[in-house]
Amino acid sequence: MPELPEVQALVDFLGSRMVTQVVTDVELGSIAVLKTFDPPPDALVGAPVDEVSRHGKFVDVDVDGIHLVFHLARAGWLRWYDEVPDTRVRPGKSPIALRLRLDDGAGFDLTEAGTKKGLAAYVVRSPEEVPGVAALGPDPLAEEFGEAEFAALLAGRRTQIKGLLRDQTVLAGVGNAYSDEVLHAAKLSPFALASSLTEEQVGELYSALRTTLTAAVLAAEGKPAAELKDAKRAGMNVHGRTGEQCPVCGDVVHEVSFADSSLQYCPTCQTGGKPLADRRTSRFLK
């Protein structure tokens, strides 16, 4: 799933290619992907793209005041074309959920693999009409989001810090992968309770959050959409690296599996050398 750094790179990529271009067509390959009906997708046709921006993990294409907002979810992605194929999208016949064409011949497809569909697109007059956008917490890279604001979000929450970092209503843009990386950089157990962190640990976690995400944004900067997934994997220290050596201490990276996801961590760096058991039976580690 693309997270804040990849979505920001995608936004920058699209902005550099779409702004001032006119939308000439919007084709739906999946009726289910479109979560709104007013305005209709045709409301985008004939209007210029004014801006492409990000709200957490949502991409917002502002087309003369009408917004195409989309969330790629777990298995969705965007495929850019300098020249969009002439063939029309056939609903239900391919992974293409939505195709957008521009007057210079370029455009993109929103695609989704697999059977569990989460890709969502909205055509709205304001991004705040999208429920997921309206519910977002603060952006962790926002200039006004300081350590004091971060500490206030954590205060009194008897919630595992891993889950809290991923909660989009608390913090916008961080998902499974970067929460693993941030916690590794901060040397904190993913099972630690937010309310149990000391002032020093909160400061270290805030610093790790900003540093990790900023570095990832810079690493993704300028890369075309097709290269972002590989760039993300290459930048990971623990996430997705079960059984490999931790680059900091040399210990073996461990994994905890859940029903539909998993987390990775380094026992030496994060849990005092103790492996974490299944979350249903583990004692929380501080």
State percent of the chain over pLDDT 90: 85
Same domain, yes or no: 124 and 159: no
Res 281 pLDDT > 80: no
Q: Does the pLDDT at position 278 exceed 70?
A: no
Q: Kindly tell me if the per-residue pLDDT of 252 is higher than 60.
A: yes
CA atoms within a 13 Å half-sphere pointing along the CA-CB vector of 267: 14
Domain count of the fold of the chain? 2
Where does a domain end: 104, 134, 164?
134
pLDDT reported for residue 159: 95
Tokens standing for residue 184: 């590794």
The whole-number average pLDDT for the span 78-93 is 91
Closest CA to 187 of 285, 284, 256, 280: 285
* CATH number, position 98: 3.20.190.10
Q: Does 279 map to a domain?
A: no
Percent of the chain's residues with pLDDT above 70: 96
CB 29 within 8 A of CB 91: yes
- Tell me: the pLDDT tens digits for 112-160? 886 677 899 999 999 999 999 999 999 999 999 999 999 999 999 999 9
Residue ranges making up the domain that contains 75: 4-134
Do 117 and 171 lie in a common domain? no
Same domain, 40 and 89: yes
Q: What is the tens place of the pLDDT at every residue in 194-222?
A: 999 999 999 999 999 999 999 999 999 98
Residue with tokens 């987390």: 263
Radius of gyration of the chain (CA): 20
Q: How far apart are CA 143 and CA 141, in angstroms?
A: 6
119/167 same-domain check: no
* 257 inside domain: yes
Taking alpha carbons only, the member of 67, 56, 53 closest to residue 10 is: 53
Does residue 142 lie in a domain region? no
- Please determine, for residue 286, whether its predicted confidence score (pLDDT) is greater than 70: no
Residue 116: Cβ-neighbour burial (10 angstroms; 0-12, 13-18, 19+):
exposed
The CATH number given to whatever domain includes residue 243 is: 1.10.8.50
- Residue 227 within any structural domain of the chain: yes
**Phi, psi of 189, rounded to the nearest 5 degrees:** -70, 140
CB-count exposure of residue 135 (10 Å: 0-12, 13-18, 19+):
exposed
Cα–Cα distances in Å, from 50 out to 16, 75, 133?
11, 28, 20
Q: Is the pLDDT of residue 279 over 60?
A: no
Q: So what's the pLDDT on residue 59?
A: 98
Phi-psi region of 114 (alpha: psi -120 to 50; beta: other; left: phi over 0): left
Residue 283 confidence (pLDDT): 45
pLDDT at residue 225 in the model: 84
Structure confidence at residue 115 (pLDDT): 66
Task: Retrieve residue 25's tokens.
Answer: 């067509």
Please state, in angstroms and rounded to a whole number, the distance separating the CA atoms of residues 196 and 160: 10
C-alpha to C-alpha distance for 52 and 250, rounded to whole angstroms: 42
Tokens 């801006």, located at residue: 51
Rounded Cα distance between 218 and 183, Å, is 20
**β-bridge mates for residue 110, sequence order:** 78, 98
- Any domain includes 283: no
Shared domain check, 193 and 263: yes
Closest-CA residue to 204 (of 150, 274, 283): 150
How far is residue 8's CA from residue 139's CA, in Å, rounded to a whole number?
12
pLDDT the model gives residue 284? 44
Beta-strand relationship, 76-81 and 66-71: unpaired
Q: Are residue 123 and residue 83 in the same domain, yes or no?
A: yes
Tens digits of residue pLDDT in 21-36: 999 999 999 989 999 9
**Could you tell me if 202 and 164 lie in one domain?**
yes
Q: Does residue 284 form part of some domain?
A: no
Domain co-membership, 228 together with 264? yes
- Note whether 123 and 237 are same-domain residues: no
Residues 69, 172 within the same domain:
no
Amino acid at 25: D
Q: Are residues 14 and 130 in the same domain?
A: yes
What is the average pLDDT value for the chain, to the nearest integer? 93
